[in-house]
Structure 1
Amino acid sequence: MNYSHLADAVLLIHFAIVLFVMGGLLLIVLGNLLRWSWVNHWWFRALHLLAISVVVIESWLGIECPLTTLENWLRVQAGQGVYQGSFTQHWVHGVMFYQAPAWVFALAYTLFALAVVAAWWRWPPHQFK
């Protein structure tokens, strides 16, 4: 596997994490309304809270996500521009990355994290019995 393929793999993993964070909250709310007990399993909820917490802390501290750093390094090693490359990279980047001031992202991530905490409070996680 060459650097370009590794960079695409990192990008897809990054995208999967974004889907987990965003889709996880939707599943928690919808799942509780539909009485799906698995959405309140302790490990699912703890991983979800941890994931959004990392995003918020990175944004508050102005730290680039390590997955973005790794992907960019792999693209440079592959002789590609940082935001140019394969079909996969082009489309996934278009969905994941927007142009806005850093404070907009920090605010959005913080508000989203507060929604996750509110869901944690409204529908507390539990252990499977």
Structure 2
Amino acid sequence: MTTSPMLATHLADAILVLHVGVVAFVVLGALLIPIGAWRGWPWVYGFRWRLAHVLLTVFIALQAWLGALCPLTVWEQALRRHAGQVVYTESFIEHWLSRLIFFEAPWWTFVAAYTAFALLVLVEWIKVRPRRRATRA
């Protein structure tokens, strides 16, 4: 099956939206965990979402240490190339959303930032322990 350039462009935009969602999940999750623990929000103790949060954050930090690009970035760029676009050309969605999550900085800056962020999330895991739901008898 071949993908038309127009479909590839739309898929690339959809991946970019997903990528922004992943970034929001990781960043906002890390902000809301301590706030929710302080405010007594029960959902911040949910085991499944907390496990997904910590694993995703550690995965991102490991990618940085290994010098690997995010799979979503690789997939989006491949689709844009297939569509005949220069990587990160100026479509509306791409223009605004990519500016939220992509920055120009030396690689070691990202390694340090992702590592520090992963450590923060791991500390939150310890300080605000997720709870498994009690089974009903």
Structure 1: how far apart are the matches of 2:65 and 2:81?
27
Cα shift at 1:27: 1.4
Structure 1: how far apart are the matches of 2:75 and 2:49?
26
Pick aligned residue for 1:38 from 43, 46, 52:
43
Pick aligned residue for 2:14 from 9, 24, 33:
9
Aligned length: 129
Structure 2: how far apart are the matches of 1:29 and 1:84?
38
Pick aligned residue for 1:112 from 111, 114, 117:
117
Secondary structure of the residue that 2:90 maps to in structure 1? coil
Structure 1: how far apart are the matches of 2:85 and 2:38?
46
Structure 2: how far apart are the matches of 1:112 and 1:76?
32
Q: Which structure has the larger Rg over C-alpha atoms? A: 2
Relative to the length of structure 2, the TM-score reads 0.91
Pick aligned residue for 2:23 from 18, 22, 30:
18
Structure 1 stretches of at least 4 aligned residues deviating more than 3 Å after TM superposition? none
Query: 1:54 matched to which residue of 2?
Result: 59
Query: 2:32 matched to which residue of 1?
Result: 27
Cα shift at 1:85: 3.3
Secondary structure of the residue that 1:2 maps to in structure 2? helix
Structure 2: how far apart are the matches of 1:65 and 1:74?
14
Structure 2 unaligned spans of 5+: 1-5
Query: 1:128 matched to which residue of 2?
Result: 133
Structure 1: how far apart are the matches of 2:132 and 2:91?
43
Code of the aligned partner of 2:125: W
Relative to the length of structure 1, the TM-score reads 0.96
Cα shift at 1:78: 1.0
